Amino acid sequence: MEKNILKNKKRNNSTLFLILFAILFAGLVGGAFVSRGGMNPVVDVVSNEPVEMTFSDVLRRAGEIKTMKIRDNVATGQLNDGTKYNAVITYNPELLEKLSSGGTVVSIDVSKGWVDYLGTWVPILMGLFFIWWIFRGLRGGAGGLSRTLMGQNPTKIVTGKPKTTFKDVAGIDSEKQELAEVVDFLRDKSKFAAVGARVPRGVLLAGEPGTGKTLLARAIAGEANVPFFAASGSDFSGIIVGLGVAKIKEIFEMAKRNAPCLLFIDEIDAIGQRRSQNSFNDQDREQTLNQLLIEMDGFSNETGIIVIGATNRPDMLDPALLRPGRFDRQVHIDLPDMAGRKAILELHAKKIKMHEDVNLGDLARGTTGCSGADLENLLNEAALHAVRTGHKMVAPDDIEEARDKLIMGPRKIRKMRPEDIKLTAYHEAGHAFVSVHYADVTDPIHKATIIPRGRALGMVQHLPIDDKVSMSIAEVRADLAVAMAGRAAEEVFFGADKITTGAESDIAMATRLARRSITTAGLSNKIGLVAINQAQTFGARVPLENASEKTAEMVDGEIKSWLADAYRDAVKILTKNKATVKKLAEELLKRETLTGEEILEIVGKKTTKKTTVKKAKVAKK
Identify the DSSP state of 213: H
Rounded-to-integer distance, Cα 108 and Cα 67, Å: 11
Q: Where are the alpha helices (DSSP H) in 211-337?
A: 213-224, 243-257, 283-296, 319-322
Are 287 and 238 in contact by the 8 Å Cβ rule? The answer is no
- In this structure, which amino acid lies at residue 286? E
User: What's the pLDDT at 27?
Assistant: 55
Rounded-to-integer distance, Cα 78 and Cα 83, Å: 6
Q: Which of 471, 508, 484, 474 is nearest to 566 (CA)?
A: 484
Rounded-to-integer distance, Cα 567 and Cα 459, Å: 19
- In this structure, which amino acid lies at residue 224? A
* Catalytic residue IDs: 428
Q: Selecting from 3.30.43.10, 1.20.58.760, 1.10.150.170, 2.40.30.10, what CATH number does the domain 418-619 have? A: 1.20.58.760
Q: Which of 292, 314, 206 is nearest to 244 (CA)?
A: 292
pTM: 0.66
Are 101 and 141 in contact by the 8 Å Cβ rule? The answer is no
Q: Which of 231, 572, 612 is nearest to 430 (CA)?
A: 572
Could you tell me which residues come within 8 angstroms of residue 373 by beta carbon, excluding any fewer than 6 positions away? 209, 210, 211, 212
Identify the DSSP state of 235: G
User: What's the pLDDT at 620?
Assistant: 34
Cα dihedral: 468, 430, 426, 599 (round 10):
-70
Could you tell me which residues come within 8 angstroms of residue 348 by beta carbon, excluding any fewer than 6 positions away? 375, 376, 379
Q: Which helix (H) or strand (E) holds 557?
A: helix 549-576
Could you tell me which residues come within 8 angstroms of residue 119 by beta carbon, excluding any fewer than 6 positions away? 27, 28, 30, 31, 32, 34, 35
Backbone angle region of 232, left / alpha / beta, with phi > 0 → left and psi within -120 to 50 → alpha: beta
User: What's the pLDDT at 300?
Assistant: 58
Are 244 and 285 in contact by the 8 Å Cβ rule? The answer is yes
Angle (CA) 509-512-513 rounded to 5° is 85
Find the distance separating the first CA and the last CA of the chain, reported in whole Å: 75
Divide the 621 residues of the chain into consecutive groups of 10 and give the mean pLDDT of each group. 46 58 58 44 49 76 78 79 80 72 73 65 76 62 47 46 83 84 81 80 88 88 85 71 76 83 87 71 75 76 80 88 86 89 91 90 86 91 92 91 84 80 92 92 89 83 82 93 94 90 91 92 89 55 64 91 95 93 92 89 62 35 31
- In this structure, which amino acid lies at residue 85? Y
123: exposed, middle or buried (Cβ count in 10 Å: 0-12, 13-18, 19+):
exposed
Q: What residue spans define the domains of the chain?
A: 2-35+115-149, 51-111, 156-333, 347-408, 418-619
Alpha-carbon distances, residue 539 vs 13, 535, 536 (angstroms): 50, 12, 10
Identify the DSSP state of 385: H
Which CATH architecture describes the domain 156-333? 3-Layer(aba) Sandwich (3.40)
Is-same-fold flag (156-333; 418-619)?
A: no
Rounded-to-integer distance, Cα 168 and Cα 348, Å: 9
Domain 51-111 fold is 3.30.720
Q: Is the preceding peptide bond at 260 cis, omega within 30 degrees of 0?
A: yes
Rounded-to-integer distance, Cα 569 and Cα 618, Å: 8
Residue 460's SS3 state is strand
Identify the DSSP state of 416: -
Rounded-to-integer distance, Cα 495 and Cα 598, Å: 28
- Given strand 105-108, what is the order of strands in its sheet? 51-53, 84-88, 74-79, 65-71, 105-108
Identify the DSSP state of 72: T
Are 274 and 315 in contact by the 8 Å Cβ rule? The answer is no
Domain 347-408 fold is Helicase, Ruva Protein; domain 3 (1.10.8)
Q: Which helix (H) or strand (E) holds 178?
A: helix 173-178
Neighbours of 159 (CB within 10 A): 5
Alpha-carbon distances, residue 429 vs 367, 480, 497, 512, 605 (angstroms): 23, 16, 20, 23, 16
Rounded-to-integer distance, Cα 411 and Cα 386, Å: 16
Rounded-to-integer distance, Cα 411 and Cα 590, Å: 18
User: What's the pLDDT at 568?
Assistant: 95
